[in-house]
Amino acid sequence: MSKKFRQVLLGTLLLLSAHSNVTAQDFPTRPIRMIVPLAAGGATDVVARLIADKLSEQVKQPVIVENRPGAQGMIGVEAAAKAAPDGYTLVFGSSTTMAAISSLYAKLPFDPIEDFAAVAKALDNAYNVLLVPTSLPVNNVAELIAYAKANPTTLNYGAGTASSRICIEMLKVMSGASMTFVPYKTSTQALNDLMGNQVQLVCEPTGSGMAQVATGKLRAIAVTGPQRISEAPGVAAVAETTGLQDYGHWSWLAFFTRAGTPPAVIDKLSAELQKALANPEVASKIKKFGFDVVPSGPKELAALQKEAVAKYAKIVKDAGITPE
């Protein structure tokens, strides 16, 4: 390699490095899209909008929330996977939509790990509640299991997300209860049919689930964590009435962007998101929806995602779920 060529190569590399630094320093210079792979109006959507508003205020650019529900979260995640690797598209995904989905579908149009770059974990301990119509004669999970065993072809459960489906499939496997899965495009559709008794069980995030209970049309029979929670103190944990001590279903929620996004841009996004989550007003509002604000950076999130992929692969296999 000649001295002149080395000088030209070095100059080019320095120019590219300088351009990358300027790009990261100036980022963002236009609106950011935040994809929520769920329908508008649910707890996750509301929380995403709280974070988006604060992020927009910090970076001085609009942060536009785009709801892309369907296929248990796959439609929204796929849209994010096809975005340009420039940091201008984020997806707000749960541990199920960003990990379990790889076990629920035989062929995905994206790879949850290879096609995404971890940006920032936002929330943890996102518990669910098990809901039944008030017309169903059960008040807790022990009674639900007994009813399902006495009426093995009667109960149907609805799920519009991967999280909701796995929540109930785990219960089926551990209890031996028989229930038939009915897929929905969104959780809202599943809840509407639950109120109409077309399905008899739904697993829903605590915030939106307890809001439905307040209408008097649905009954919460359990929370899916290891113990009762402050957001629903009158609702027992599954283990309290069943003895299923190993049962537990909760998730984290985090931000991802397209793989190949410059690391400096990812670091800036991560720092700004963690700053937004640390805002006391934002954290207080999020807590009301039953989430714990537990932010962390890209490295921690990437490790957490890989761990979740392995965890849910085992759950799906043990439940005997055939990938679609």
Alpha carbon distance 173, 168 (integer Å):
9
pLDDT at 238: 93
Q: Which of 11-20, 177-186, 225-234, 269-278 has the lowest mean pLDDT?
A: 11-20
320: left (phi over 0), alpha (psi -120 to 50) or beta: left
Q: Are residues 152 and 188 in the same domain?
A: yes
Backbone angles phi, psi at 58, to 5 degrees: -75, -45
Q: Are residues 122 and 259 in the same domain?
A: yes
> Which of these three, 214, 242, 270, is where a domain ends?
242
Helices 162-175 and 141-150: crossing angle in degrees, nearest 10, is 70
**10 pLDDT higher than 50:** no
User: What average pLDDT score do residues 61-81 get?
Assistant: 92
**Structural domain count of the chain:** 2
Q: Note whether 162 and 97 are within 8 A (CB).
A: yes
Q: What is the dihedral of CA 43, 49, 55, 57, to 10 degrees?
A: -140
Backbone angles phi, psi at 12, to 5 degrees: -65, -45
Q: Are residues 106 and 164 in the same domain?
A: no
Q: Note whether 186 and 214 are within 8 A (CB).
A: no
Collapse the DSSP code of 143 into the 3-class scheme (helix H, G, I; strand E, B; otherwise coil) and give the result. Answer: helix
Q: Are residues 206 and 267 in the same domain?
A: no
Pairwise pLDDT comparison (23 vs 39), residue with the higher score: 39
**266 pLDDT higher than 60:** yes
> Which of these three, 225, 242, 259, is where a domain ends?
242
Q: Are residues 108 and 179 in the same domain?
A: no
Q: Are residues 19 and 59 in the same domain?
A: yes
In a domain, 50, yes or no: yes
Supply the CATH number for residue 64's domain.
3.40.190.150
pLDDT at 289: 81
**7 pLDDT higher than 60:** no
In order of 40, 131, 280, the CA distances from 140 in angstroms are 30, 10, 36
Which tens digits make up the pLDDT trace of 208-222?
788 889 989 899 999
Q: Are residues 282 and 217 in the same domain?
A: no
Q: Are residues 229 and 283 in the same domain?
A: no
Q: Note whether 269 and 120 are within 8 A (CB).
A: yes
Supply the DSSP symbol for 273: H
Q: Are residues 149 and 120 in the same domain?
A: no
Confidence of residue 23 (pLDDT cuts 50, 70, 90): low
Which tens digits make up the pLDDT trace of 89-142?
999 999 888 988 888 887 888 999 999 999 999 998 888 999 999 999 999 999
> Which of these three, 242, 276, 296, is where a domain ends?
242
Determine whether 265 is exposed, middle or buried from the number of CB atoms within 10 Å of its CB (0-12, 13-18, 19+): buried
Residue 100 lies in domain? 3-126+250-319
In a domain, 86, yes or no: yes
In a domain, 324, yes or no: no
Angle CA 20–253–281, to nearest 5: 90
Q: What is the mean pLDDT of the chain?
A: 89
pLDDT at 251: 87
**293 pLDDT higher than 50:** yes
End-to-end CA distance of the chain: 54
Alpha carbon distance 26, 61 (integer Å):
12
Cα-trace Rg, the chain: 22
Q: Are residues 231 and 178 in the same domain?
A: yes
**Is the peptide bond preceding residue 323 cis, with omega within 30 degrees of 0?**
no
Collapse the DSSP code of 109 into the 3-class scheme (helix H, G, I; strand E, B; otherwise coil) and give the result. Answer: coil
Q: Are residues 217 and 256 in the same domain?
A: no
